[in-house]
Amino acid sequence: MLNFAIIGFGGLGKVHFRNLKEVMKVEKDINLVAICDVEESAFTSQVQMNISTENAHLDVSKYKFYKDAEEMFDKEQLDFVITALPTYLHAPIAIMAMERGIHVFSEKPMAVNEEQAQAMLDASKKNNVKLLIGQCIRYFPSYNAVKKLVETEEYGKVRFANFVRWSMLPRWSWQNWFVDEKKSGGVVLDLHVHDLDYISHVFGKPKSVYTKSSRNSVDHDTIATLFNYDGMVVTASSTWGMQLKYPFTAEFTVAFERATVELKRDKLMIYTETEARELEAPHEEFGLPSDDGYVNEMIDFIECIKNDTVSKINPPEASKLTVDIAYAEKQSAVEGREVEIL
Ligand SMILES: NC(=O)c1ccc[n+]([C@@H]2O[C@H](COP(=O)([O-])OP(=O)(O)OC[C@H]3O[C@@H](n4cnc5c(N)ncnc54)[C@H](O)[C@@H]3O)[C@@H](O)[C@H]2O)c1
């Protein structure tokens, strides 16, 4: 039996808690022991986020509560933790856990800067524990469908790809940490990081990036990046500038030589010279059972612990590269020039 705790019980901590039912259909030998959050109110309050509308009461009465992670580590025998903390706390709490031999699933982005991301990687290696970052897009079937077509070249090579991720300003967060760029990394590290991570997952490391940014309500809350690859045009845009009532939007268009695949309003379509049809996403492409990326990533993490392996889908080195590229994009936006990815 693997004993675990959730640290950070705000928006995403509650998403992971809700998903445990699905995760445990596959991973039957895991046991949630405790939940940790600095705010006592987090155990009873609900959070209305951009990605989740479910607002049902959560029954947490079976679990121990802690307000301090270190105290919980001292008192409980934990095999792993799921952390969903404000981004600037990812590294310190993950490293504290790993130093005690506890495996860590830590939400995206890996860390608020490159140094902290490197320190997390080092701690995982030094202590021989698993570290998996919640870059969940790698686990969603619709995105995997495109990855498969890129690899097989069934419809030829990619000519261009465009990704969008548009949201309202995240106003639900604890102490409003999202809107402080030093704490969240701003829209590049928080929102756009999903597409950026997927782009490097599918197309490899870009040679360089060129980013423009503008201000709506906070600095650089709207960005667009041109990723430099040979033979294709890859772009992505993200904003926190949408109105409260504008639906959260995460979409893409990938144009191959003989087909275009598009995710729009949660519908995955393929268009060729002769047909326009819905494309079936390969749910079990990687032996992962769910159409929910959050469930799949957790199963992948637990399998890595049980089999003493590193995830083939989402190794922590890839998450570190994603943070590096995000910083190159920020540098490009500030300096108004193309920045090479070394
Ligand atoms: N994968 C995704 O799709 C996705 C979506 C949203 C957020 N996230 C990530 O999840 C993380 C959390 O985001 P959120 O929206 O849940 O934020 P949030 O502000 O709603 O929740 C953070 C929680 O951490 C608690 N906390 C703060 N300091 C703590 C400490 N020292 N110890 C224990 N608890 C502490 C807060 O009280 C709060 O309940 C962020 O890194 C964010 O980037 C991921």
Rounded to 10 degrees, what is the CA torsion of 153, 158, 159, 163?
Answer: 150
173, 85 contact by CB (below 8 A): no
- The answer as to CATH 3.40.50.720 being correct for domain 2-137+293-314 is yes
Q: Which two tokens stand for residue 176?
A: 């409003």
254, 232 contact by CB (below 8 A): no
- pLDDT of 189: 96
Q: Which two tokens stand for residue 202?
A: 């599918």
Probe residue for ligand 1, chosen from 85, 182, 189 as the CB with the greatest number of ligand atoms within 8 Å: 85
* CATH 3.30.360.10 placement within the chain: 139-285+322-340
Tell me which of 3.40.50.10470, 3.30.360.10, 3.40.50.300, 2.60.40.10 is the CATH number of domain 139-285+322-340: 3.30.360.10
Q: How far apart are the first and last CA of the chain?
A: 43
Partners of residue 173 on adjacent β-strands: none
- pLDDT of 287: 60
pLDDT per position in the chain (342 positions), as tens? 999 999 999 999 999 999 999 999 999 999 999 999 999 988 877 666 666 655 567 888 899 999 999 999 999 999 999 999 999 999 999 999 999 999 999 999 999 999 999 999 999 999 999 999 999 999 999 999 999 999 999 999 999 999 999 999 988 889 999 999 999 999 999 999 999 999 999 999 999 999 999 977 777 789 999 999 999 999 999 999 999 899 999 999 999 999 999 999 989 999 999 999 999 876 655 566 678 899 999 999 999 999 999 999 999 999 999 999 999 999 999 999 999 999
Angle between helical axes of 193-203 and 141-152 (0-180°, round to 10): 30
Which residues, judged by CB distance below 6 Å to any ligand atom, belong to the binding site of ligand 1? 7-13, 36-39, 42, 47, 49, 51, 69, 84-87, 89, 107-108, 134, 136, 172-174, 190
Q: Which two tokens stand for residue 200?
A: 């490097």
How far does residue 291's CA lie from ligand 1's centre (Å)?
23
How far does residue 25's CA lie from ligand 1's centre (Å)?
25
* CATH 3.40.50.720 placement within the chain: 2-137+293-314
Could you give the C-alpha distances from 249 to 63, 165, 237, in angstroms and in order? 35, 5, 11
- pLDDT of 261: 98
- pLDDT of 54: 59
270, 277 contact by CB (below 8 A): yes
Q: What is the CA 122 to chain-centroid distance, rounded?
A: 20
Determine the residue type at 262: E
